[in-house]
């Protein structure tokens, strides 16, 4: 009888878990100290929240007003380089227990303390796809202008002699290149005690159409690659 009760409790425990929720990273390979998001998207919880009376309403979807999936996320930073792992995470909502999968990812070292440079890296996805990530810093010229005795104007302009480096996404044989994520921000310093630069981040997904034919990205595949950058060809196979 005790074994039967234990087995029944085990079944209740297992059945209380809903579908496994998939974790996603906003950045495929974040750097040390760089903010990124861990997110999961699912309509499972929305179905629990909007448990509307049957026969009175027809539910078309569980998306928000922007027609995207319901998502939950947290903004974090990694504290160590190398391989990192998150999950499984579990939580209970409305009497149901939910569980996420495990996500493993690499964390790259932080950028050096410089105000100028380009860093290009390849992050594998599977046997036919990789991410090409471009980090770039371009120096800025911060200025402070006294407009009157009570007002000053502060601005930071990026040097005009250097442009944003990008990966060409068209006319590539045997590959599909998609821009996945891009961001930019100005990190000014108006008092001369720190670096001042424009920070640019671009992430592309490159997928081979025929995995038997490797792709080699040369410097010609990039726009505005500065002359000081020592480029090494990137092989994708």
Q: pLDDT tens for residues 15-64?
A: 445 578 899 999 999 999 999 999 988 777 777 777 777 788 777 777 66
User: pTM to 2 decimals?
Assistant: 0.80
Work out the angle at residue 227's Cα, subtended by the Cα atoms of residues 168 and 219, and round it to the nearest 5 degrees. 35
What pLDDT shows up at residue 106?
96
Higher pLDDT, 68 or 134: 134
DSSP 46-67: HHHHT-PPTTT--------TTS
| Residue 110: how many other CB atoms lie within 10 Å | 11
What pLDDT shows up at residue 68?
63
């Amino acid at each position: 009888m005790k074994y039967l009760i234990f087995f029944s409790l085990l079944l209740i425990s297992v059945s209380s878990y809903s579908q496994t929720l998939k974790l996603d990273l906003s950045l495929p390979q974040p750097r040390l100290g760089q903010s990124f998001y861990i997110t999961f998207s699912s309509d499972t919880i929305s179905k629990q929240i909007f448990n509307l009376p049957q026969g009175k309403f027809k539910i078309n979807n569980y998306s928000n007003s922007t027609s995207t999936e319901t998502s939950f996320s947290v903004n974090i930073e990694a504290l160590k380089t190398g391989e990192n792992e998150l999950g499984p995470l579990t939580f209970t909502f409305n009497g149901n227990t939910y569980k996420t999968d495990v996500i493993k990812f690499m964390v790259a070292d932080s950028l050096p303390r410089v105000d100028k440079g380009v860093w290009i890296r390849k992050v594998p996805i599977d046997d036919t796809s990789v991410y090409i990530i471009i980090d770039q810093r371009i120096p800025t010229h911060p200025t402070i202008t006294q407009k009157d005795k009570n007002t000053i104007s502060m601005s930071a302009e990026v040097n005009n002699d250097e442009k944003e480096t990008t990966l060409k996404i068209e006319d590539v044989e045997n590959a599909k290149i998609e821009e996945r994520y891009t961001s930019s921000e100005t990190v000014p310093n108006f008092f001369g005690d720190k670096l001042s630069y424009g920070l640019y981040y671009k992430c592309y997904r490159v997928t081979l159409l025929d995995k038997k034919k490797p792709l080699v990205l040369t410097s010609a595949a990039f726009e505005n690659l500065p002359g000081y950058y020592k480029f090494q060809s990137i092989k994708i196979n």
